[in-house]
Amino acid sequence: MLSGRRVTVGVCGSIACYKLVEVVRRLSKLGAEVRVAMTPGATRFVAPATFAAVSGSPVLTDLFTEAERVAHVELGRWAEVLVVGGATATTLERLASGAADEPVSATYLMCRAPVVLAPAMHTEMWEHPAVRRNVDRLVADGVTLVGPDTGDLASGDHGVGRLADPEAVVAAVVAACGPRDMDGLRVLVTAGPTREPLDPVRYISNHSSGRMGYALAADAVRRGAHVTLVTGPSALAPPPGTDVVRVTTAQQMLDECLSRFDEVDVVVKAAAVADQRPVATSDHKLPKDGLSDRLELEPTPDIASELGRKKGAQLLVLFAAETDDPVARAREKLSRKRADLIIANLVGRPGTGFDSETNDAALVTEAGAEPLPRMRKEQLATRIWDRVLLQLGDPAEG
């Protein structure tokens, strides 16, 4: 898959940089020739000899070790892809500002190949405006951002900032070695839950985190598409490079989708829209003893059906989240909603569905169903876009 491709891995001083050993190992197993550069901080966590053993090449740890050669110049020009992994806030500042006072940032400035950036830091640092500015600048400069994920962090914390899993980093390298096969496509992705208010405090919603929709948006950006992300409330940071439209209710999501529908080529409706909303909404918090035993509800707008009725040349992709036999429900939904592709998604079990990092799913079209093994949502996003491109190239596949 990567036979003969030249990959430079820059290892930064995050406590999670030990994961880059597995990244180097996997890249090598895929046939890539890998060379490694390390920041001084990274060498305090993992010995350079470890990376030298796994990569089979010397590791660059000092800009001035070999006076007779300018190693970072050679390394930057040699690379067909540069991975900067375990990137700390300090590394992001260096890369964004053009500083080059250690091997990784100096190699970055010399490199004209695609760059895959995998940050890792505590949640508060990742969410700080200064860090966000640097990330936005780097994405504008053309780097591909992988992660960070949400999960367990150092010091017992839990939140966004966890270094992306090695398989996700390697997948980004594989993609960077390939063509930007979605250049020119205009894509609209919906994500997250909706919230239907009862009063200013209470609402009806579901357990959706937005992970699947955000993964779809991130992969489409990486592959060259122009992406609009219409998102319900989510704790996730939107993928850089997307046009983000924030909504709360199903009606708001429908309005935003309809207003943009004629301008896009593909719509992927990954949002988990609340099916019901209160008939009456109060402007003031309802007293506990004033709530009725039975809450009167009405259906929310059926966004999928509305888009299906309106669609012309657009490709419409839907999700069917079910606890039992999702493929059968997806087949029934396919023609009724005028969809071109439905992702039948098993929910309600450990490791799949809402707020999980993996999914059990099948791709369902008029031609049949393709069951997929359990995989990370980032990998599933890639499989979905691959199928979308196939159907755009051959409408009969739908």
* CATH for 93: 3.40.50.1950
Q: Do both 48 and 92 map to the same domain?
A: yes
Please say which residue of 176, 204, 221 terminates a domain.
176
How many Cβ atoms sit within 10 Å of the Cβ of residue 117?
26
Question: Is there a domain that residue 121 lies in?
Answer: yes
42 pLDDT above the threshold of 50: yes
Cα→Cα distances 393→217, 248, 388, Å: 21, 35, 9
Q: Are residues 222 and 196 in the same domain?
A: yes
Same domain, 320 and 192: yes
153-171 pLDDT, tens digit per residue, is 777 778 788 888 888 888 8
- Which residues are CB-contacts of 398 (< 8 A; sequence separation ≥ 6)? 315, 340, 341, 365, 366, 367, 391
CA distance 325 to 33: 44
Note whether 26 and 38 are within 8 A (CB).
Answer: no
Mean pLDDT of 178-198: 90
Q: Is residue 300 part of a domain?
A: yes
Mean pLDDT of the chain: 87
299: three-class secondary structure by DSSP: strand
335 falls within a domain: yes
Cα distance between residue 379 and residue 373, in whole Å? 11
Confirm whether 120 is domain-assigned.
yes
- Specify the DSSP class assigned to residue 193: B
Residues 288, 374 share a domain = yes
CB–CB of 162/246 below 8 Å? Answer: no
The answer to whether residues 127 and 148 belong to one domain is yes
| Segment 211-237 mean pLDDT | 90
> 252: domain CATH number?
3.40.50.10300
127 falls within a domain: yes
Single out the residue in 176, 209, 233 at which a domain terminates.
176
Euclidean distance between CA atoms 140 and 314, whole angstroms: 28
Classify residue 92: in a domain, yes or no: yes
Interval 241-264 mean pLDDT: 95
Judge contact between 300 and 255, C-beta under 8 A.
Answer: no
Q: Which of 176, 206, 232 is the last residue of a domain?
A: 176
Report CA-CA distances (Å) from 116 to 10, 152, 223.
10, 23, 13
Return the amino acid letter for 305. Answer: S
Amino acid at 212: M
Q: Residues near 390 by Cβ (< 8 Å), separated by ≥ 6? A: 397
Q: Which domain holds residue 273?
A: 186-397
Asked whether residue 89 falls in the same domain as residue 221, the answer is no
Residues with catalytic roles: 206
Q: Say if residue 145 is in the same domain as residue 287.
A: no
Sign of CA dihedral 64, 69, 70, 71: negative
DSSP 266-296: EEEE--B--SEEESS--SSPPPGGGS-SS--
Residue 342 burial (10 A CB sphere; 0-12, 13-18, 19+): buried
Q: What is the pLDDT of residues 55-114, one digit of tens each?
A: 999 998 888 766 556 777 778 888 888 999 999 999 999 999 998 889 999 999 888 888
The SS3 call for residue 3 is coil
Residue 59 has a CB neighbour count (10 Å cut-off) of 22
Q: CB 151: neighbour CB atoms within 10 A?
A: 15
Taking Cα atoms as reference points, which of 90, 112, 107, 84 lies closest to residue 23?
84
- CB atoms inside a 10 Å sphere around CB 101: 10
The total of other beta-carbon atoms located within 10 Å of residue 382's CB is: 22
More confident of the two residues 167 and 294? 167
3-state secondary structure of 58: coil
Q: Are residues 128 and 194 in the same domain?
A: no
Is residue 181 in some structural domain? no
Residues 36 and 88 in one domain: yes
Same domain, 256 and 161: no
List pLDDT tens digits, range 329-371. 888 888 899 999 999 887 767 777 676 788 888 999 988 889 9
The answer to whether residues 16 and 55 belong to one domain is yes
Query: What H or E segment, with its residue span, contains residue 231?
Result: strand 226-231
Q: How many CB atoms lie within 10 A of CB 172?
A: 26
Contact 93, 99 (CB under 8 A): yes
Report if residue 77 sits inside a domain.
Answer: yes
Total domain count, the chain: 2
In this prediction, residue 323 carries a pLDDT of 79
- Give pLDDT, residue 335: 82
Residues 215 and 165 in one domain: no
